[in-house]
Structures are given as C-alpha cells and as structure tokens.
Structure 1
Amino acid sequence: MPLKKTEKLTQAANTYKSILNAMEEWVVIVDHQSKIFFINRPYARFLGVKAEDVKGKKVTDVIENTRMHITVQTGKAERLSLQKILGSNMIASRFPIIEQGEVIGAIGTVIFHDTHEWKQINTHIKALLTEQDFNHQKQLTSDKALSGASFHLNDVIGDSQIMKALSAKVKQVSSGDVTVLIRGESGTGKELYAHAIHQLSDRAESPFIKVNCAAIPENLLESELFGYEEGAFTGAKRGGKAGKFQLANGGTLFLDEIGDMPLPMQAKLLRVLQDREVESVGGTHATPLNIRLITATHRPLENLIASGAFRADLYYRINVVSIALPPLRERREDIAKLADFFLQKLSRRTGRRAPKLTVQALTAMLAYDWPGNIRELENVMEAAFYTSHDRKIPLSLLPAQLSQTPTNVAPTATDITASQTSGSLKEQLNAAERNIIKAALIECGDNRTKAAQKLGISKSTFYEKIDKYGIS
C-alpha cells in the first residue's frame, strides 16, 4: 500500500532535519494542504516563533507575504523572488515536492536575508571571478574603456596586512551606492581605488566619469561639470554640451582633488548633491540625477574648513564613508614586490629582460621614506631600468636621495629598520630579516639555492626562514 503524502514528507524531513537546522539559509516545508510541516531553527528564530508551535498551522498565518500555498497549488517553482518579511526585503525561492507526478508539498528557502546582503555577495563573487580570470580580464581593455574605468582591485600590488585590510573595506563598501571619500598623499593610488570601487559595484557596466578639480580653470569648472546650452556664453558650442554630471548619469562620478575646488563652485556642487538634479549653464530645465559620487583629496579638509577654504556642509555630504590610503613608508614590506612589478611591466613594454635589484639597492629603498609614494617608486624603477647593465640595478643607479642614506654598506637589520621604529625589537628584527631574504631572492632570480649561498646560510635554514615569514 503506497505511503500517504504526509508519511512521505515525514521520511524526507527526518532524514535531513539535522542538516536543515544547521544551515544558515532559512527553510520551510509545507504539506499538500499548505500547512507547515517543518521550519528550521534559524527561520523560526527570525520570525520569533518556536518551530514546534507553528507545525500544522497554515503557512499564510505564520509567514508574511508567503507564496508557498501558490507553489503547492500550481506545482511551479519560483526562483529568487522578492518577499518582504517583518519590514525587510528577502530573496526567496520556492519549489514543489513532487512524488510520482503528484504534489505532496513544497519547500521554501530564504537565501539572502535582505537586498543589501545580496549586493554584498554579488560584489564578493565579482571579486572572486576577477581573481580567477584576471589575465582574461586584463585583455578586455576595450570593454573597460567603454565605461571609463580601467583599473580593478587586482591591480593593487601588495600583500601587507594594511593592504589586505584596505582591500576588504573596499569590497565591503563597493556593493552599495554610498558616497566615498578617498584620502591619501599624492602618489598613493587614489584614482585606482575609485576605479576599483566602480568595477565592483552594480554600476560596473555604466559610465565612470572622472574630473580633476585642480586641473580645470575656475571659470570653466561649472560648465565642465554641469554642461551648457547653446548661446549660454561667448564661445559656447552650437547645440550646447553635456556636463560630467549628465554623462555620469546612471553610473559613477569621480571628483579628484576636490579639496582644490573653489568656494563658489562648492556651493553649486552642494546644491546639486542635495537636490539630486542638475541644470546646465543657460538652461531652464533640471535633469534628475542617478549617480554614485566618489571624491578624493590629498589635502587635510578639516584644516581647510577651519581656515574657511572648504565648506563644512559639503564635507559632511561627501564624507559618508572615508577610505584612507597608507603612504608607502607605512607598507615597506610591499616595496620589493612593487619594484619588481614595475620592472616586469617595463620588460613587457620594451621586450628587454628585466634587471634585478641588488641587496644594497633594495636595502636603501626599504630605508627611504618615499615622499612621492608609489608614483615616485615607479619613476625610480623606470630610470634604473633604462640605465642598468648586466641585468643588475646597483645602489649607484638609484637617485642621490636614496644612495645618500646610511645603507650604502652591507645590509644589516639596523639599515633596513632605520626608519621603522614601530613594534618591539623582535618584530623589527624579524621584519629586517624577511626583507633581506626577499632582496636576496630578487637578486638571485628566485633561485633559492643561490640566495642561501649569498646569505651564507644552509639551504635547510633558508627554507625554514621562508616558511617562517610566509615568503612565496
């Protein structure tokens, strides 16, 4: 005699009960009468009920805006649909349970507990896919050019803890439309991070428009940002011109060096951001705006506010989420990797084999404070690349400000940690030893046997230290 519908559900539910209760996803199972047969603990906790108390109740009496009863009636699945429960927009799926052609119930799952969580997962998946297929992504320059964004988070070089934490924060804020202020010294890569935020956002396929507020004359900045109508002023083009705000509509607008924006222009920008609409110069109609705003500056905005050079109300409007980029002197462990990256980049461009830094040269670079940050490092590597001989970059080929540091002798822990006074003595010595090993590997072309010989230690000791410091 065939089993009854409820008995079949009982067998299935008992088999997977422990698994379903352990899942983070919320799960509910109803019988052929749309009565709750099983609800897992996470879902019950969210609803504020006990699983055993709601068993046997109509699902429509327990779960707000449910469509489980419709799935039972129609026998059709509903995938990834919005459902508002207790004020939050969930993303839920519902599937009929069919046995021998007959609907005996339905199972529903809530995978994303709000739309923000879905956006964060979407951003995370984008980052993973890009990492997995980065070489392919680098070839799609024409596609990136269409949106205007040409850099991704994978273009960031460095595996120091401070950079890992920075990348994690960028991934976290990229998914939403929150306004971001990127702060950092000149040469730290502010524009790169603006590109990366856009690439990881839901607007990645939409325009990415950038404006350098310091590079445009004050009398042209308004028309450049907001556009103008035909005849708005002497020299205006026939038919007028769309401004950066109009071009960025639906996408992302990046205002670089916003700390250099003149005060009168700050007031007009604030009005546009508050009203979410823009009116071109000489125009009579406002255009509604749907943009994400990213700004950047190397200037201390708080000091500018105190001196009256920057509006406090605009500061609070743009400083919703602040991302601070560290100067190169605060991430010295990335210097060797960055230097090698720039040398390899030049090698690919010229077809010439990349030279290697000597230990003395890299030691000097590690001790230098790099006031121009990554941009300065790239320039130094370019000069050294074209002046090097025998595929070596000795200390003598580096600029005077580097070669005059107290590092033009054999490398020692004191040399490398000369300007790194944070941390205990043990931490500083470990950092120095790690940098010396990395320098030896670079000079020896990643040949570990030669690097061990150069440092005068056994191969086994060398491998132990590589494992200790996590050097790849």
Structure 2
Amino acid sequence: MSTANFQPAVSPTPIGHSASDALQLLVGPSAGAAHLWAQIRRVAPHFRTALLTGERGTGAEAVARALHDLSPATWRPFLTLSSQDSEQYLSQKSFAAPPPEGTLFLSDIESLSRSAQSSLLRLLRHRGPQSVRVVAFARHGLRPAVSTGIFSSELASSLAALRIALPALRERAEDIPLLVSHVLQRRAQALGKTAPPLTAEFLSAASHFSWPGNLEQMTSVLEALIRRSQGDPLTGSDLESAVEQTEESTARTVNEPRMVKLETVIQEHIRSVLFGCNGNKLRAAEILGISRSTLYRMLDAAQAAGNGDFKLPLAG
C-alpha cells in the first residue's frame, strides 16, 4: 500500500456506543480496575499525551477510547494505528495547517522509525485549542528504547508526561465474571449467534485461571466456545478444552516459518533482549553472548542510520 493512498480508519466515538464498551472492559470491583478508572476520569479532560504500559492484551485501546470519550475531543475522530499504519500515516504528514484533530492511538510506539518519530514530535509541538491528543502503548515503557538509542528522548519525555500502568487480568480476578459476560455477549452478537448460558462452575474456573494472554486470550477462548456451542450451559471442562484449543492454534501460528532475512531476526532478538534488560547494555551483551563493544557498535550504527535498525558489524 502506498503512503499516498493510505487512509487510516477513522472512528467517531459518541459516548453512547464506544465509551460504554470501553467502560465494560475497564471497570469492576477489583482494586486494580478502580484505580485505573479513577485515573482515567481524573486526567481525561486535560491530557494532551498519555503513555500506556503493561502486558499485551490488557485493554490499551479501550483505555485510549475512554480517555478520548471523556475528553473535550469526544465528538472528533478517534484513530487507532498499528505500528505499520503509524509509519505510513506519519510519513505522509507534513502537519502544516490544518493539523489533525481528535485522538490518535499508536500501538507499539517504540517500533517507530526515527523519521516517524520526528513527524510525531512536530505534531506534538503544534499548540492550539483543538490540538490532536496522542495515546501511545509501549509494553515496557520507553526508557529501554531511549537507552539503546533507537527512540528520541525528547519524544519519550513528551509522551510520558502522563503514564498509566494497565493491570493484568490476574490482578483483576474479582472482575472476571463481569468481563466474561460482557465479552461473551459482544462476540456472540458480532458472530450472529446466541451466547451460551454460563454456569457458576465456569465463572469460578475463569476467575481462577491466570489468563496470561489477558483480554485477547479471553476473547479468543470465548469466541471458540461460541462457535462450537450447541446451546448447553458452559462448564469448567468447556473452559479447559477451549483454552487448550486456542493455545494449540497460537502455537501453530508461532511455529510457522518466517520468510525474512536473518539480519531482521537478529535485530528483533537484540531489541527484545535490550528491552527485557530495561536498557542495561552490559547485562544484554552477557545474555546475547557478545562483547559489550560489539553491542555498542551495533547501537551506534542504529543511531547513525537514523531509523532504529541495527546493522551487523564484524564481531570483535
């Protein structure tokens, strides 16, 4: 897709629809949900940027929509952009007048190239009564990316002026029955099917399950149960079998061969290790089994390239 023809999905989000969906995913009797929702309500009327951190599948887009819907920009567009879409969208924008309005939600913000980061920084420098709001998600925050030289420290400071940590589902066990009921009804409606009844046994099993994939895993599991439902009430054994089914499907997808250059795989692995070490280069070099000088040369090459891509120097 050429950037000249790229059109991101624009989602006007009136309170009566998307705000209600976001609310159902974010509120509940748990302390984690209460703290999160209180923070959203407190900052939504005033924020310009927000950085969301946490595990994948913890509802980052729902939080971004809630921030948008409770802000003065609620009747303006809400744009959700993947990392690839963000690159295309930002690369085609000069951000001269008139600037975009509403709210941008950028997932995997740490993956942005340097050129896209510069475009986003120019956008944030524009001030006005209807300036665009930006909500970004970075699983580990931006400190590791800044430390390794692949992310602008100025942009990181701008985005992290407001930081919201998203709780994992295992920290929201009291919310699971409400979440299961809501997600089950929404997915059944989307699939044009009737949601199967839930037993107390099923809800208890769901509440005690750790949900390592968080809301994304819950959605996949419940969708699998809806598709194979014959109308019988769901039990604990149904949950167990659906979890196994979706895990097997995910494993098959992960194990499919990736037809990419070796250099790309090495770059991704080095980036992952650096993030896991919170930017500690000495520790990362030890884990990677390379000298610290080699790692530094790779990082210096990435900064010189200006796009965050690692180049592979001769080992030394």
Q: Once the 2 structures are TM-superposed, how far is the Cα of residue 331 of structure 1 from its aligned partner?
A: 0.6
Residue equivalent to 1:176: 46
* Alignment partner, residue 188 of structure 1: 58
Distance across 1 between alignment mates of 2:136 and 2:143: 15
**Structure 2: which 5+ residue stretches go unaligned?**
1-9, 246-316
Q: Is the 8 A contact 1:365 1:402 kept in 2?
A: no
One of 109, 115, 124 as aligned partner of 1:258 = 109
- The superposition leaves residues 64-89 of structure 1 with CA deviations (integer Å, 9 ceiling, x where unpaired) of xxxxxxxxxxxxxxxxxxxxxxxxxx
In the aligned structure 2, how far is the partner of 1:319 from the partner of 1:184? Answer: 14
Deviations 1:81-131 (A, max 9, x none): xxxxxxxxxxxxxxxxxxxxxxxxxxxxxxxxxxxxxxxxxxxxxxxxxxx
Is residue 248–residue 291 contact of structure 1 (8 Å, CA) maintained in 2?
yes
Q: What does 1:130-169 align with in structure 2 at a 5 Å threshold?
A: 145-146=11-12, 151-152=18-19, 153-156=22-25, 157-169=27-39
2:18 is paired with a residue of what secondary structure? Answer: coil
C-alpha displacement of 1:373: 0.4
Counterpart pick for 2:84 among 210, 215, 219: 215
3-state SS of the aligned residue for 1:295?
Answer: strand
1:38-84: per-residue Cα shift (whole Å, max 9, x none)? xxxxxxxxxxxxxxxxxxxxxxxxxxxxxxxxxxxxxxxxxxxxxxx
For normalisation by structure 1, the TM-score amounts to: 0.43
Higher helix proportion (structure 1 or 2): 2
SS of structure 2 residue aligned to 1:248: coil
What secondary structure is seen at the aligned counterpart in 1 of 2:84?
A: coil
Aligned equivalents of 1:355, 1:244: Cα separation in 2: 54
Tell me the distance in 1 between the aligned counterparts of 2:147 and 2:133: 28
Contact 1:335 1:366 in 2 (8 A): yes
For this pair of structures, how many residues does the alignment match?
231
> Judging changes above 3 Å, is the alpha-carbon distance between structure 1 residues 248 and 208 closer, same or farther for their aligned structure 2 residues?
farther
In structure 2, which of residues 115, 119, 124 is the aligned counterpart of residue 268 of structure 1? 119
Q: Deviations over 1:160-216 (max 9, x none)?
A: 12212211111110111432112222111111111111111112122323322x133
Match of 1:382 in 2: 223
Q: Give the alignment partner of residue 133 of structure 2, picking from 280, 285, 292.
A: 292
Query: What whole-Å deviation, never above 9, does each CA across 1:282-332 have from its counterpart, x for those lacking one?
Result: xxxxx9982222222224322222222222221111111111110111111
Identity among equivalent positions (%) equals 29
Rounded Cα–Cα distance in structure 1 between residues aligned with 2:137 and 2:177: 27
Q: Give, in whole Å, the separation in 2 of the partners of 1:327 and 1:273.
A: 30
Larger strand proportion, structure 1 or 2?
1
Structure 1, unmatched stretches of 5+, are 1-143, 228-242, 278-286, 405-472
Q: Does 1:197 align with 2:197?
A: no
Contact 1:147 1:205 in 2 (8 A): yes
1:248 maps to which residue? 100
Query: What is the aligned counterpart of 1:354 among 196, 200, 204?
Result: 196
Q: Bigger relative contact order, structure 1 or 2, given CA contacts below 8 A and separation 6+? A: 2
Which of 153, 156, 171 is the equivalent residue of 1:315? 156
Q: Distance in 2 between matches of 1:246 and 1:298?
A: 32
C-alpha separation in 1, matches of 2:193 and 2:103: 37
CA contact (8 A) 2:168 2:214 kept: yes
* Paired residue secondary structure (1:356): coil
In 2, distance between residues paired with 1:378 and 1:216?
Answer: 24
Q: Assess if the C-alpha contact under 8 Å between 2:14 and 2:75 holds in 1.
A: no
Judging changes above 3 Å, is the alpha-carbon distance between structure 1 residues 155 and 344 closer, same or farther for their aligned structure 2 residues?
same
What SS does the corresponding residue of 1:392 show, helix, strand or coil?
A: coil
Distance 1:256 1:245 in 2: 25
CA contact (8 A) 2:196 2:229 kept: no
List per-residue Cα deviations over 1:416-437 (Å, max 9, x = no partner).
Answer: xxxxxxxxxxxxxxxxxxxxxx
**Counterpart secondary structure, 1:209:** strand
Distance 1:338 1:398 in 2: 15
Any conservation in 1 of the 2:79–2:104 contact (CA below 8 Å)? yes
